[in-house]
Structure 1
Amino acid sequence: MKIRRKNTALVSACLSFCAVALLAACTATMGAKAPSSQNGNTSQTAKARLYGDYLAASYAHQLGDSRARSEYYSRAFARVPDDIKLGQVSMLSALSANDNVLARALAIEVYAMNPQDGLSRAILGASALSKGHYKKASIYLADSNDGTGLDDINGLMQGWVEVGLGNQDAALESFTQLQGGKYFELIGSLQKAKLYAALGDSEKADEFFKEIDTIGISSIESLLSQVRANLAKDDKDKALALLNAFAAKNGGALTGPVRLYLDMLAAEQEIETEFTPAQSASRALTEPAFGYYAVQKRYESAEMFLRLALQLDPKNDKARLFLASVLEDMNRDDDALSTYMKIGEKSAYAVSARLSEANILFQKDKDSAAIQLLENVYETHPSRVTLDSLGRAHLIREDYAGALPYYNKLIASMSDAELQKNPQPKYIRGICLERLERWEEAVVDMEYVLKYQPQNADALNYLGYTWVDKGVKLGTAFEMIRKAVALEPKSGAIIDSLGWAHYKLGQYGQARLKLEDAVEYSPSSATIVDHLGDVYWKVGRKREAEYQWRRAVSLDPTDKELRVLKAKLKGGLNAASSVE
């Protein structure tokens, strides 16, 4: 359960009171963490206010309230304007709150104290670049060398500033001098490829594109850049060939920018091929923000660079989509949701945004709203992706009757060759059919999956477990489950199936060992914990059995499981038969 955003005035009042009470301790112990006060004559009241703002900002950060965090850090910095570390935190907080005006104002103050500060230079440089003020931007971005990762980010922006100034050689040099290792070397190569393409030097551009594509860095951005380059020189056939080759390797590219480009070309619509230096810089920042920093779980850095990218180009929906994903990773679901919602229906990233919105709504237990959203996106963007998402939404809610029609439709839309290559829809439909007690039809789907994917551990486990649970084909079922365990030796669900198979055969000693192992791997599974309770009862460990059943009740069991568990807790294992 997420903590609700607190009223900022209340947070301030509460923490200011705490600050007064703890002032002496704070002064003695917060040292490197808290802001420093250089004026020895500062009153105790002023110090209390300073620490109150600082603690309120820290608390707001814990709550994920970016706006309150920014407000209180900027207040604290205003009280000690010579504290550069507090100024840096205030700038970062303002960016996180999407307050570019405040971030710029703070950056001016920090830059005045330390002209080498990388963050203030990035903020001021991005602001100037976004307005086309290239000379001013260059003052902030050129020769950035504060020893942080911001050097490369500023270097990427400076390269496109040089393009705006008409200094192509200086731009290429800026892209060459990135110091962040092989990844940033390749990001620099991508910028050089784009620049050479814009200059009409196809041979040089292709040389750098080939280098990038060989490694596989930023593959979609590289592809789209090559497509635009070919369209710019009226080579539509080459552009289409590139797009179709990518689509063929990626399931048809059913949604996203590649699909949008294909649809636009089919409709003979014009694709934008030229970007301003600010737009190009925005895309340059987007790639490492997500592909490097977010991948390494350096989420605050990723957020900062993505917000700068959006300042440079507010229409960069790829950066917006990535930003929302990062905010989710930071458990800031409300901010993520509002960010996804800013991606319009005509955007190449609309489907991804809507599916992510629905996922957040499900997490907030707003299932009806999530389902409605998925139905809307399927209506406006019909594809196998949106169809599958609707089916999975019903499946997760254990609405198997509701899920089944979507998987019937999905399977009907696929050719035999496609199903043989990807039988997953058959597997999911098999689950729906089994839960709806249409067992014979379910077996047909599961056996189809195993015919074309004999190493599919999930299908082996599901079919084997179901046979065991029904007490049929036990020998075959055992072999299937053992094979599944060999394929996935750390899967609690699969080990549970093997333990349950032993249980069904009355081999309670072996069942206990396997089920104890299963619980170690999946301690929060109500089904597995319930099974362990059953086997404990069978071996005479009845108090432990009751303990496990109580645990299972607390682990969000299905409605049917909950009824059975309550019966067992009231009347023992045999009482379960009266409600099953």
Structure 2
Amino acid sequence: MPHLLSRTLTALVLAATLGSPLRAESNADAGAYLAARVAESQNDFRAASGWYGKAILTDSGNPQLLEGAILAELASGDFALAAEAARVLKSLRGETSQLGEFALLADEASREDYAALLAAAEGGRDVGDLVNSLVIAWAKVGEGKMSEALAAFDAVTQTKGLEAFGYYHKALALASVGDFEGADAILSGRAAGPIFVMRRGVFAHAQILSQLERNADAVALLDRSFGTGPDPIVDSLRRRLQAGEPLPFDTVRSARDGIAEVFFTVSTALNGDADAVYTLLHLRVAGFLRPDHPDALLLTADVLESLGQYQLAIDTYALFPPESPSYLAAEIGRAGSLQSLGKTDAAVEALQSLARSYGNLLDVQFALGDMLRMNDRCDEAEVAYTAAIDLLPEVTEKDWVMFFYRGICNEQSKDWAAAEADFRQALDLNPSQPQVLNYLGYGLVERGEKLDEALGMIKRAVAADPEKGYIIDSLAWAYFRLGRYAEALAPMEKASLLEPVDPVVTDHLGDVYWMVGRRLEAQFQWRRALSFDPTEKDAERIRRKLEVGLDLVKSEEETSAAPVKAAENGD
């Protein structure tokens, strides 16, 4: 059936480029220009905008500077400056770029100047075939020409791979003018067959059914789409519907909202396939036209995180007030960005605050557990994971990860019995999961328990994920711990190729070389491991091996029963 996340869309949109490389003219401020280019290359859009602005002060007629300024301003969400720069660029060249057209289109739509949008389209404006077509259709809605608008939506449905976009937006347009029967016919599949819609589309359909006084059908739709597990937004809608409340249709309230929805739905299709900056530009237009669009804001923050712009992501997450249904998701996202920015205490406190207010929500407890685990606060993390597990309505295959992470915390807290029980529960739920097989198998080898089973687990992990260096390291290290040094050599060398700068893997390779009699190579690998910033405890052990050799170190460890560290498992 037609699918909104069409690969055809990606091909169509990516045919348009973001513009040619910028070049400074001779009378431009070279220092400001270079600073702008550096900031742009680092996706630091706020800084780039400022530097381009400074450069433009010395050369306001430089098209390349204007082009760079438009990109930086759009990406940072400053549409007033972006539109002004686009108008200047157009006055210089008689035409603007695709980036400039983004800015001008957003400006016209924000002013609900639908005549200008249609005139620009007739004049050849190109922001991508799908966006062009859907914006024209919504502009017709804005002008009250509904018959022409529906014909324009129908034209999109005739493009192979893009059918669902045309049908979905046609349904939203019908609902926006009160034709809920027509909208339901499309979204239910009666008009043209089933179409895939995203979470937001399901909510829109639920609102449409409620407007048709079909609240029970709306509840059934939510249950089919999302199940009955805890979900604050779905739960709130379900309660309102079950109470007989008519849900207003507010997914698209106007043609301006419809154009915002165009940019949002296209951005969801681009996300993960196209350049992240290009996806961000679509999201910025959606958020500019519809500032209260929660899904656009959440995805904007997520894309900013992927670009390493954690402060911009934090600022975006902070736009959600506590009363917003999306507040919890935004706060969990904000905590993740704070962690990425190095503000660990603030990240933990954000989630602890959520847990104090919403401790009965599984997602909150799970997010808190993850944050505490990542910050080596395993005793506290175990409590949060246990709370999350206790909130599960039923344990299913996808819940393996909760038991796995709790098992890691129990293992780190030296409670092996509890850890093994959690790992085995995770394997009961997902018997072929390579991370669990690797972690449990390695733990058993380290303890000298159930060695045949342990080695079998690690081999299964390698078979399931043969290109993960840390798993292959575990296999080699299992052979090493079993005294099978010759068998350890080949997998350890492969692990080192896959994880060439991992201090633990490199250290392990040195140990294997030592035990097969390749002493000089062992010392070389230990020195390399020291250059890869190992923990201080590991560094002390490596320096001791370089001083006296592995044999004496092993003898000392056997006397003190000190454990040897395993390679990280990627979590």
Flag whether TM exceeds 0.5 (same fold).
yes
Instruction: Assess if the C-alpha contact under 8 Å between 2:77 and 2:288 holds in 1.
Output: no
Alignment pair present for 1:126 and 2:106:
yes
> Cα deviations across residues 290-313 of structure 1 (Å, max 9, x unaligned)?
322x32232222222211112211
Shift of 1:167: 0.8
- Report 1:193-342 matches (<5 A): 193-198=171-176, 199-200=178-179, 202-203=181-182, 205-207=184-186, 210=189, 214=194, 216=196, 218-248=197-227, 252=229, 254-255=231-232, 257-265=233-241, 271-274=247-250, 275-292=253-270, 294-342=271-319
The verdict on how the C-alpha distance between 1:54 and 1:340 changes in structure 2, with shifts beyond 3 A counting, is same
The one-letter amino acid paired with 2:33 is: Y
Match of 1:434 in 2: 411
Aligned identity (percent) is: 28
Shift of 1:503: 0.8
The verdict on how the C-alpha distance between 1:213 and 1:402 changes in structure 2, with shifts beyond 3 A counting, is farther
Shift of 1:96: 2.2
RMSD over equivalenced CA pairs, Å: 3.0
Alignment pair present for 1:99 and 2:78:
yes
The whole-number CA distance in structure 1 between the counterparts of 2:23 and 2:341 is 37
Match of 1:29 in 2: none
The verdict on how the C-alpha distance between 1:180 and 1:58 changes in structure 2, with shifts beyond 3 A counting, is farther
Q: Secondary structure at the residue paired with 1:296? A: coil
- Residue number among 189, 192, 195 corresponding to 2:167 in the alignment: 189
Q: Secondary structure at the residue paired with 1:418? A: coil
Instruction: Assess if the C-alpha contact under 8 Å between 1:321 and 1:340 holds in 2.
Output: yes
Shift of 1:325: 1.7
The one-letter amino acid paired with 1:350 is: Y
Match of 2:325 in 1: 348
Q: Gaps (5+ residues) in structure 1?
A: 1-31, 38-46
Shift of 1:462: 1.8
Q: TM-score, normalised by structure 2?
A: 0.84
Match of 2:9 in 1: none
> Cα deviations across residues 514-552 of structure 1 (Å, max 9, x unaligned)?
111122223343332222121122122233323333443
> Cα deviations across residues 42-96 of structure 1 (Å, max 9, x unaligned)?
xxxxx34354443332133134332342244355556666655554433222222
The more displaced of 480-489 and 538-547 is 538-547
The verdict on how the C-alpha distance between 1:441 and 1:193 changes in structure 2, with shifts beyond 3 A counting, is same
The one-letter amino acid paired with 1:385 is: D
The one-letter amino acid paired with 1:352 is: A
Shift of 1:498: 1.5
The whole-number CA distance in structure 2 between the counterparts of 1:263 and 1:571 is 70
The one-letter amino acid paired with 1:261 is: L
Q: Secondary structure at the residue paired with 2:122? A: coil
Q: Secondary structure at the residue paired with 1:337? A: helix
The whole-number CA distance in structure 2 between the counterparts of 1:564 and 1:492 is 22
- Report 1:134-533 matches (<5 A): 134-140=114-120, 142-143=121-122, 145-146=124-125, 148-149=127-128, 151-178=129-156, 182=160, 184-198=162-176, 199-200=178-179, 202-203=181-182, 205-207=184-186, 210=189, 214=194, 216=196, 218-248=197-227, 252=229, 254-255=231-232, 257-265=233-241, 271-274=247-250, 275-292=253-270, 294-382=271-359, 383-415=361-393, 417-419=394-396, 422-533=399-510
The one-letter amino acid paired with 1:189 is: Y
The whole-number CA distance in structure 1 between the counterparts of 2:161 and 2:355 is 37
The verdict on how the C-alpha distance between 1:213 and 1:336 changes in structure 2, with shifts beyond 3 A counting, is farther
> Cα deviations across residues 442-475 of structure 1 (Å, max 9, x unaligned)?
2222223333432222222222211111122212
Instruction: Assess if the C-alpha contact under 8 Å between 1:213 and 1:222 holds in 2.
Output: no
Instruction: Assess if the C-alpha contact under 8 Å between 1:91 and 1:103 holds in 2.
Output: yes
Q: What number of residue pairs does the alignment pair up?
A: 532
Shift of 1:387: 0.6
The one-letter amino acid paired with 1:110 is: L
The whole-number CA distance in structure 1 between the counterparts of 2:324 and 2:518 is 60
The whole-number CA distance in structure 2 between the counterparts of 1:271 and 1:525 is 55
Q: Gaps (5+ residues) in structure 2?
A: 1-19, 564-571
Shift of 1:131: 3.1
> Cα deviations across residues 157-180 of structure 1 (Å, max 9, x unaligned)?
332222121111222233344599
Alignment pair present for 1:55 and 2:21:
no
Alignment pair present for 1:571 and 2:548:
yes
The whole-number CA distance in structure 2 between the counterparts of 1:212 and 1:297 is 29
Match of 2:12 in 1: none
The one-letter amino acid paired with 2:341 is: K
Instruction: Assess if the C-alpha contact under 8 Å between 1:375 and 1:390 holds in 2.
Output: yes
Alignment pair present for 1:109 and 2:88:
yes
The one-letter amino acid paired with 2:108 is: A
Shift of 1:195: 2.0
The whole-number CA distance in structure 2 between the counterparts of 1:324 and 1:568 is 47
